[in-house]
Amino acid sequence: MELVLATRNRHKVSEIRAILQGLSLTIRTLDDFPTVPEVVEDGATCRENAIKKARVIARETGKLALADDTGLEVEALGGRPGVYSARFAGEHATFSDNRLKLLQELKGISGLKRKALFRCIIVLASPTLVLAAEEGVLSGRIAVQERGQKGFGYDSILLLPGRRRTLAEMTPEEKNRISHRARALAKIKRHLKRLVSKDPSQQRGVAQLG
């Protein structure tokens, strides 16, 4: 069975591949389907965006598709940037631009008030149905300055409680054990296992969401 990952972010692709290894799935990415159009992420929530991406990519490729959408919610900013995390510093902002804007907005805000969390929604769709939507959360605190070189996005400014390290100071294996994406994906993996199973009675267990 083939599964298309609805992303061009190579960091996400390698995280997802690592977590799904062991399932008898052939994993494709959008690089394998160069004519598939870019999906505009114009939903009001990460869930809406993930559902839209999974639906469109499954329909356009004719295969099972998996889409994820993540938002960083910062308590002192009333949950911002949330669904706007990729464009926090503007439409064509780089990861670095977004991190610097966040550090700037939190200047003077100390310790406990820098609480933040990543919320990841992962959606699995067939060409005709949304099969599952699952959420994973990772809580931490926004660091005062960037630390670490690994990962991507906001990794170098999310400090994890008890670990005194940012996500960017962890190995990919460590990040994949605890991350918001790993947590959502662990739940999706159960749906995928049922789908790849040859037992038709197990396939009936997959819920139809819309």
Q: Which two tokens stand for residue 190?
A: 């159960």
61 lies in the site for ligand IMP, by CB under 6 A: no
Query: According to CB under 6 A, which residues from 83 to 112 bind ligand IMP?
Result: 85-86, 95, 98
36 φψ region: left (φ > 0), alpha (ψ -120 to 50), beta (else): beta
One of 55, 63, 114, 181 touching ligand IMP (CB under 6 A): 181
One of 73, 134, 155, 169 touching ligand IMP (CB under 6 A): 155
Q: Residue 207's CB: how many other CB atoms inside 10 A?
A: 10
* Comparison of 61 and 70: residue with beta carbon closer to ligand IMP: 70
Helix (H, G, I), strand (E, B) or coil at 122: strand
Any catalytic annotation for residue 68? no
From 42, 68, 69, 97, active-site residue: 69
Q: How do 26-29 and 64-74 pair as beta strands?
A: unpaired
* Comparison of 29 and 195: residue with beta carbon closer to ligand IMP: 29
169 lies in the site for ligand IMP, by CB under 6 A: no
CB 101 within 8 Å of CB 68: no
Interface stretch with ligand IMP, choices 69-77, 128-136, 142-150, 194-202 (CB under 6 A): 69-77
Query: H or E stretch including 98?
Result: helix 95-105
